[in-house]
Amino acid sequence: MDSLPDAIVQYLLSHMNNARDVAVCNCVSKRWKDSMPFIRSLYFPRNSFDNHLGRDSPDDIVWSMVSSIEKLEELVVYSPFSGAGLSSWLSVIGSSLRHLELRMDNLAEQEVCHESPSKLDCISSAKNLESLKLWGVLMTHSPKWDVFQQLRNLEIVGARLEDPALTTLLSACPNLTNLLLLGCEGVRSISINLPHLEQCKLDFYGLGNCSFSMNSPKIEVLEVQGCSWIRVRETNRLRILSIANNAGRVYMVDFGKLVALEFLSIRGVQWCWDAICNMLQSASEVKHLYMKVEFTGDFEALQPFPEIDFVDFFNNHPKLQKFDVHGAMFAALCQKNSLRSVDRGFIIPCLEEVVITVRSPLNAEQKMSTLESFLKYGKNLKTMVIKILQMKSNHSSADDFFDEICRFRYMNRKIVRIE
């Protein structure tokens, strides 16, 4: 290193970001210390100050380090800090900062009223942010933010939110292209109107009865978990769509024609049948369909799926290449009337892979007939995976059914496998 020109040394050292490494390099030589102001990124791990015994507080140490850097662009702080500390850091580096990631650790109710300024409010000093990531956020009051015109990426993981606060937050970020809200509770209704949004992932936990609406004409990837009422009207660019509700039931989905859709996943314990039908009708152009819905029914009573015509289903989804279907949907396709009279010209033109999860030996004859129909009409089928999952039956019919599946696999071993 001693033989290298100063510019090379500065370039090499500027790629360090761990705060401990930076602190150690400061002590190596004056030449190395003089290179520290050229660092662009600084990262404080969770345990940065676990064994700290010095007189300076962790907030002061962070301030000393960030203030010695000429143009810090990225700051990641997982170690504990105060609102006053954050305010002092951002007053120094706010204008140059482009990426900010903070572990807030303020989910405890008692912390919200005692800290001034609040950690959330302090973030407004970093006006030129392009990416903001927050962990462990309590947002029961609207943050006092100006508009972040440059912000493109917003990620919040683990949060307790109130609807008005979330609305204020989103209105302060009008140019987002990526939005991620994971493990958030307290949300009852959310409306997203972001004209440049391309990717959105929402994960709300609780009762699963949240309502969600979106008007983002550039949306390409959308994942929603924990909502019962969903309305998304601008969908011309939507390629990937995932809807799940693990705690409640899905009552309503309202989408425009999903002309660009490549992947659709619908999951949950219970969906109203109208919601399933509307979703499948909107997704007629889908290429990969994943279905794992256990029951239907408009009210609390859990009901099985009604009969679904095998031929009509695939005629209505002619571009389907991969079909991953769970027990309830597979059982609905295995009705006697579905394959009683099939037109001679019927084929499944694009299907290449089918993954079927079987949980019950009931209607074994019809199920075997449906498995055979996949091979018979899927002219381009390359792979069929049959998953036997927790088949609950003490009757010999379960063994007989499994023997039939094994025989079917042996006769078609180039395509079929059992998991």
With a pLDDT cut of 90, the percent of the chain lying above it is: 61
How far, in Å, CA of 124 to CA of 149, rounded? 12
Task: Calculate what percentage of the chain has a pLDDT beyond 70.
Answer: 90
Show the CA angle centred on residue 71, arms to residues 68 and 76, nearest 5°.
Answer: 80
Distance (Å, whole) CA 234 – CA 82: 42
173-219 confidence digits (pLDDT tens): 999 999 999 999 999 999 999 999 999 999 998 888 999 999 999 99
Is 228 a member of any domain?
no
Whether 142 is in a domain gets the answer: no
Integer Cα distance of 419 and 412 in angstroms = 15
- 219 near 234, Cβ under 8 Å? yes
Predicted TM-score (pTM) of this structure:
0.90
In a domain, 357, yes or no: yes
Q: How confident is the model at residue 33 (pLDDT cuts 50, 70, 90)?
A: low
How does DSSP classify residue 123? G
Q: How far apart are CA 117 and CA 85, in angstroms?
A: 10
Q: What is the pLDDT of residues 128-140, one digit of tens each?
A: 999 999 999 999 8
Does some domain include residue 177? no
- Look at residue 205 and tell me if it is in a domain: no
Provide the token pair at 150. 């440059």
Q: Would you say the C-alpha torsion 24, 30, 31, 35 has a positive or negative sign? A: positive
**Residue 387 located in a structural domain:** yes
Domain encompassing residue 346: 333-418
What mean pLDDT do residues 1-18 have? 71
Q: Is the pLDDT of residue 47 over 60?
A: yes
Residue 306 lies in a domain: no
Domains contained in the chain, number: 1
Residue 340 lies in a domain: yes
